[in-house]
Amino acid sequence: MPERHLMIDIETLDTSITAAILAIGAVVFNPRGESFEEETFLVTVSRKSNQAHGRSVSASTIAWWAMQEQAAQDAVFNGPHIPLNLALAEFVRWVNRLTPTCTKIWAKSPDFDCSILIHACKEQGIYWPFRFWESRCVRTIMDLAYPEGEFPAIAVEGPKHDALVDAKVQSLQVQHCYYVLGC
């Protein structure tokens, strides 16, 4: 049976652990070469709900978003949004329904994405479905595979800073690193 790992990416309005969460994207993948494109998750979160739950917003992150592609801005600021507690609950339910389960969770970096999601889940009384030893870092494996920093460009269709697009790109980056490292 192929390995099943989970890649996540979030978009936020701050860089602190209390950051307002705009979107959660995830894709199930096998680090040794198979993607499970049908097993993806994407949700956009209401800014008003983030505010009601005391999630933080920084002026520098707002300014950063203003410099991003319009398609990326549209992906998080337009369209259907759901309350933060429902977005987190839907994500955790989706993860818990994956069969077979994912044995690792990856992010670029877990110190950002996972930490913010764990903090938000804890505040909402939602149990985070992964243990700390199951977290993996995309940047670390990229540094191991390409110590000189010349990682080849990998792209999928869609704008940068769309949570699902970024999760897909990051899963391909990990697969590439596994190949280069002979894992």
The one-letter code for the residue type at 118 is I
Show Cβ contacts of residue 95 under 8 Å, excluding neighbours closer than 6 positions. 6, 26, 41, 102, 129, 130
Q: How confident is the model at residue 32 (pLDDT cuts 50, 70, 90)?
A: very high
pLDDT in tens, 131-165: 999 999 999 999 999 999 889 998 888 899 999 99
Query: Does domain 5-181 fall into CATH 3.30.460.80?
Result: no
The ranges assigned to domains in the chain are 5-181
Name which of 155, 15, 160 is nearest 76 in CA terms: 160
Of all residues in the chain, the percent with pLDDT exceeding 90 is 88
Whether residue 120 contacts residue 12, with contact meaning beta carbons closer than 8 Å, is answered with no
Strand order in the sheet with 104-107: 35-44, 21-29, 5-12, 104-107, 135-137
DSSP tag of 54:
T
